[in-house]
Amino acid sequence: MEQIILYHGSPNQQVFPQYGLGDEKHDYGKGFYLTENLELAKEWAVCRPDERNGWVHKFSLDITELKVLDFQKYNILSWLAELMKHRDAADSKRYRVLSGKFIEKYGIESENYDVIKGWRANASYFYIAREFVRDNIDVEILEELLSLGGLGIQYCIKSERAYKKLTEIKETTICVDFQEFNAKYNERDVSAREKMRKLVDSDANKVTRVFSTILEHTSHT
């Protein structure tokens, strides 16, 4: 049996993971989201500006017989394509047309997996995605940009089978102080975006292989 320990940051003292719930417009669609990183879970518990303390819930997940889609093992473009299925990076007709082609070329059939593992799309991600679809970021620096973002890796419980393998360790619930960890969340985001802008403005960003050109290349092959 292969067990992993995961944490879920929430504004709620009690949580009830249930198959079929969640927001279709979240990173990987409907599901229950967790992380292996306790400190990130604390920040995510109080990332809303409502000045309420949050809670971190500890879970055990038996992944022995589960199909896990790990986006860290794939091209970074596959991860972006998955997010484009659920989240809009830009509100324009050009983006809507090109994102469909992008998903067709780089998307992975994720529907048959029990668990999805990959980066979390926070505010830093939206800066990257927006600039990428505007052709301001070269594919070659995408992965480095994401590492600068400190986005953190999250797990999304997708299937009914995976929910049955998820168990909360209830006596370990932690109360998270809003003032301390909301400040940390915001500091991480500001710092990440400063580092990202420096890289985007540097000579490392050739702006040659960009969003529209990799699609144009596809249409000519």
Per-10-residue mean pLDDT of the chain, 221 residues long, equals 94 93 81 95 93 97 96 90 78 77 91 93 75 90 82 91 96 95 91 90 95 70 38
pLDDT of residue 200: 93
Strand partners, 131: none
Alpha-helical runs (H) found in 107-159: 123-133, 142-148
Strand 115-119 versus strand 68-70 pairing type? parallel
Question: Which residues does 20 contact at the CB level (< 8 Å), separation at least 6?
Answer: 30
| CA gap 86, 138 in Å, rounded | 23
pLDDT of residue 219: 45
Taking phi first (over 0 means left), then psi (-120 to 50 degrees means alpha), and beta for anything else, what does residue 51 get? Answer: left
Q: What's the alpha-carbon Rg for the chain, to the nearest Å?
A: 18
For the chain, what percentages of helix, strand and coil (3-state, to nearest 5) are there? 45, 20, 40
pLDDT of residue 16: 94
Nearest to 214 by CA among 89, 117, 75: 75
| Tokens found for residue 158 | 């997708």
Write out the E strands in 40-82: 54-62, 68-70
